[in-house]
């Protein structure tokens, strides 16, 4: 038996991590192409430093596949509803598979009509929305992506959870670099940060969560609801994103969505909205990527308040983190390493070499 016990984060090669994740998904019944898509998407997210939505979420996906609330081999049904719109029935498959397919169709529609809007039904957790915004940019489009989640955020002025973390992504092409990309939750922090803190023994920042009595807390285990980002502004955004993802697609909203970390046998019934916009259909479209590059360069040249600081543009922190982690590896915390070892044992899949080269046994 290989020792897989670690007391500190272990750096794991991104390629090895993706290979392990793909093998674990295949062992759970996911087709090869879908397994590789999900594995690469989660590892890419971890490379960006978005550890709340990266490889740390794979054990949860594997648990739902095992329970049957997520289908390993869904039957996706795409229906075009107008010149630039479509709906995608996800059949309770992996959300990353569903949303990638939806954005692919949105890009196709935009290439035909200038804009493509695809609503997803009966989906599951789809990871970081930046995956889909950047997917559109790679096809020369502007990408918008929205999704929602079960109730974990208190409304502005409220003390109990009502809406999800309901994120938004907007990504635009940049002639001199990677996409300028906004990908953010409408809550003060993503709820998966709470889950990671519970697993790894960390605490939460001040003023981002409340306990069951509505009082502020930094204790991840006591956190009963998050606060909205920017108070009433984050709450209003979350409310309307829920409408676009849930009711617009015939799916439930907020308190009526089965909890991600609640009954693992219950299907999530999530919705998402993917939009691609062809910049060539607008007056500045032919110069947009060059103008964005110039705008980004000018923004970065602005004086910083902190003498040692600097001004960045959306996406810069993720790309810097990716550069560092491609060279140094992705940090895997002890709690996640333990979960990976457990799934490796259950599925008969070898762990990445940094964590143990053979399948652990009792």
pTM over 0.85: yes
CB 183 within 8 A of CB 167: yes
CB 155 within 8 A of CB 235: yes
> Residue 237 domain-assigned?
yes
Reduce the DSSP state of residue 71 to 3 states and report it: strand
> Do 166 and 82 fall within a single domain?
yes
> Residue 171 domain-assigned?
yes
- What confidence score (pLDDT) does residue 201 get? 87
> Do 48 and 166 fall within a single domain?
no
Residue found by looking up tokens 């590059």 in the block: 293
CA angle 194, 195, 200 (to 5 degrees): 95
> Do 60 and 81 fall within a single domain?
no
> Do 97 and 39 fall within a single domain?
no
Strand partners, 163: 153
Reduce the DSSP state of residue 344 to 3 states and report it: helix
| Domain of residue 349, CATH code | 1.10.1530.10
User: 159, 298, 326, 302: which is closest to 228 by C-alpha?
Assistant: 159
Reduce the DSSP state of residue 268 to 3 states and report it: coil
Residue found by looking up tokens 């109730």 in the block: 151
> Do 233 and 267 fall within a single domain?
yes
What is the phi-psi region of residue 93: left when phi exceeds 0, alpha when psi lies from -120 to 50, beta otherwise?
beta
> Residue 194 domain-assigned?
no
> Do 151 and 300 fall within a single domain?
yes
- What confidence score (pLDDT) does residue 6 get? 59
- What confidence score (pLDDT) does residue 16 get? 97
- What confidence score (pLDDT) does residue 120 get? 98
Q: How many domains does the chain have?
A: 2
Task: Tell me how far apart the alpha carbons of residues 250 and 98 are, in angstroms, rounded to a whole number.
Answer: 16
> Do 166 and 105 fall within a single domain?
yes
> Do 24 and 138 fall within a single domain?
no
> Residue 221 domain-assigned?
no
Give the helix/strand (H/E) hosting 119.
strand 115-123
> Residue 3 domain-assigned?
yes
Measuring CA to CA, how many Å separate 177 from each of 138, 206, 339? 12, 35, 37
- What confidence score (pLDDT) does residue 122 get? 98
| Domain of residue 108, CATH code | 3.30.1370.60
- What confidence score (pLDDT) does residue 192 get? 82
Reduce the DSSP state of residue 51 to 3 states and report it: coil
Residue 158: other Cβ atoms inside 10 A? 16
Reduce the DSSP state of residue 325 to 3 states and report it: helix
DSSP annotation string for 197-221: HHHHT--PPTTSEE-TTS-B---TT
What is the phi-psi region of residue 171: left when phi exceeds 0, alpha when psi lies from -120 to 50, beta otherwise?
beta
| Token digits of residue 11 | 């750096």
> Residue 254 domain-assigned?
yes
> Do 97 and 63 fall within a single domain?
no
> Do 121 and 236 fall within a single domain?
yes
> Do 62 and 80 fall within a single domain?
no
Q: Going residue by residue through the chain, which has 362 residues, state the pLDDT in tens, using 9 for 90 and above.
A: 344 555 689 999 999 999 999 999 999 999 999 999 999 999 999 999 999 999 999 999 999 999 999 999 999 999 999 999 999 999 999 999 999 999 999 999 999 999 999 999 999 999 999 999 999 999 999 999 999 999 999 999 999 999 999 999 999 999 999 999 999 999 999 888 898 899 888 899 999 999 999 999 999 999 999 999 999 999 999 999 999 999 999 999 999 999 999 899 999 999 999 999 999 999 999 999 999 999 999 999 999 999 999 999 999 999 999 999 999 999 999 999 999 999 999 999 999 988 874 444 33
Residue found by looking up tokens 């923004």 in the block: 299
> Residue 335 domain-assigned?
yes
CB 106 within 8 A of CB 275: yes
> Do 136 and 283 fall within a single domain?
yes
CA end-to-end distance (rounded Å), the chain: 8
Q: Domain span at residue 5?
A: 1-67+329-362
> Residue 302 domain-assigned?
yes
- What confidence score (pLDDT) does residue 5 get? 55
């Amino acid at each position: 038996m290989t020792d897989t016990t670690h007391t500190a984060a272990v750096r794991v090669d991104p390629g090895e991590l993706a290979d392990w994740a793909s093998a674990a998904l295949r062992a759970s019944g996911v087709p090869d192409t879908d397994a590789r898509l999900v594995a690469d998407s989660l590892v890419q997210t971890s490379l960006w430093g978005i550890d709340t939505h990266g490889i740390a979420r794979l054990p949860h996906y594997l648990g739902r596949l095992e329970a049957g609330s997520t289908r390993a081999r869904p039957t996706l049904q795409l229906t075009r509803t107008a010149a630039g719109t479509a709906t995608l029935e996800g059949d309770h498959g992996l959300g990353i598979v569903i949303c990638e397919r939806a954005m692919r169709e949105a890009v196709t529609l935009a290439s035909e009509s200038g804009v493509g809007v695809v609503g997803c039904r009966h989906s599951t957790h789809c990871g970081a929305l930046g995956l889909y915004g950047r997917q559109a940019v790679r096809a020369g489009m502007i990408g918008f992506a929205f999704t929602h989640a079960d109730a974990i955020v208190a409304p502005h002025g409220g003390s109990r959870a009502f809406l999800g973390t309901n994120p938004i992504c907007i990504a635009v092409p940049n002639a001199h670099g990677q996409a300028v990309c906004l990908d953010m939750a409408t809550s003060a922090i993503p709820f998966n940060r709470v889950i990671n803190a519970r697993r790894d023994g960390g605490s939460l920042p001040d003023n981002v969560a409340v306990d069951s009595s509505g009082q502020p807390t930094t204790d991840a285990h006591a956190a009963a609801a998050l606060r909205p980002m920017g108070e009433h502004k984050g709450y209003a955004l979350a409310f309307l994103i829920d409408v676009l993802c849930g009711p617009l697609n015939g799916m439930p909203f907020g308190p009526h969505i089965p909890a991600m970390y609640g009954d693992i046998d219950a299907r999530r019934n999530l919705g998402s909205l993917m939009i691609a916009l062809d910049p060539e259909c607008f007056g500045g479209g032919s110069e947009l990527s060059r103008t964005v590059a110039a705008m980004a360069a000018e923004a970065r040249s602005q004086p910083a308040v902190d003498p040692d600081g600097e001004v960045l543009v959306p996406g810069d922190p993720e790309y810097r983190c990716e550069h560092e982690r491609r060279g140094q590896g992705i940090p895997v915390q002890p709690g996640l390493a333990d979960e990976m070892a457990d799934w490796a044992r259950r599925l008969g899949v070898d762990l990445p070499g940094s964590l143990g080269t053979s399948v652990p046994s009792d």
